[in-house]
Amino acid sequence: MKKILIASTSTVHGSGYLEYLLNVLEVHFKKADTILFIPYARPGGISHHDYTKTVRIAFSKINKTIKGIHEFDSPIEAIKSSQAIFTGGGNTFELLNQLYKYNLISVLKSTIESGTPYLGTSAGSNICGLSIGTSNDMPITYPPSFVALGIVPFNINPHYLDPDHKSTHMGETRETRIKEFHKFNSQAVIGLREGSFLSIDGTKILLKGPLKARIFKKNKQPYEIDSGTDLSHLN
């Protein structure tokens, strides 16, 4: 049975790395002593080693051991033998590029769907959707495909920001970009605000956290959903 957390962010304003989620993660990873960390997204170009060190410090607060996937001779075997998996944020294009490079897409998807507990934040959440076409990131590398894991039957836009009608900034809003996406793509998109996450237990997909989320569907007006809403049938 699937056990998945898909979080908009790793850090909310005024708190440390993963701090706002630690109580949830303690329950989510209760059966795992060691968590496999996938650092491929490399926020700010940080090394895999340094990124893993940051994650190791955070998870030590709930007595979990972290092993970076780059520390293994075989990334495929690392995933297959993992007790739990965490994919961190950073650049979604680079993350997906590395997953394709090491032929990890199918094994990661099957391992998650077989019940290995998974946490994704930001880029690590983006890859849970059907594609990474609604990422906020710059395409600094070129994965062979935008097709992602398809753990959920829709796309995800983490760090969703509402338009600021008082701002003088004339650039595109997130809502505008998602409307552009729907000119060429049909799947639904969920805008996850900071501090929000999706909790998947078996076939049920629930919105969790203190805020509402925004749902976008092709040729329809966007609408808000409350925390606690079941999104199992969103597509």
The whole-number pLDDT of residue 137 equals 96
**Concatenated DSSP letters for 111-145?**
HHHTT--EEEETHHHHTTSSBSTT--S---S--S-
Residue 76 token pair: 């495929």
Q: Annotated catalytic residue: which of 48, 70, 159, 199?
A: 159
Judge contact between 79 and 102, C-beta under 8 A.
no
Q: Annotated catalytic residue: which of 8, 10, 125, 137?
A: 137
> 27: how many CB neighbours lie within 10 A of its CB?
8
Torsion sign over Cα 115, 96, 133, 143: negative
73 is an active site residue: no
**Cα(72)–Cα(81) distance, integer angstroms:** 11
**Residue 169: pLDDT above 70?**
no
CATH topology of domain 3-225: Rossmann fold (3.40.50)
Which pTM does this prediction carry?
0.96
Per domain, the residue ranges of the chain are 3-225
- Residue 130, phi then psi, degrees to nearest 5: -70, -35
**Cα(204)–Cα(224) distance, integer angstroms:** 19
159 is an active site residue: yes
| 95-126 tens-digit pLDDT | 999 999 999 999 999 999 999 999 999 999 99
Q: State percent of the chain over pLDDT 70.
A: 99
Residue 154 token pair: 């829709």
Output the CA–CA distances (angstroms, integers) from residue 165 to 158, 169, 173, 225, in the order listed: 21, 9, 11, 21
DSSP 30: T
Judge contact between 99 and 128, C-beta under 8 A.
no
Q: State percent of the chain over pLDDT 90.
A: 94
The whole-number pLDDT of residue 164 equals 73
49 is an active site residue: no
Q: Annotated catalytic residue: which of 122, 125, 135, 196?
A: 122
**Residue 231: pLDDT above 70?**
yes
| 178-211 tens-digit pLDDT | 999 999 999 999 999 999 999 999 999 999 999 9
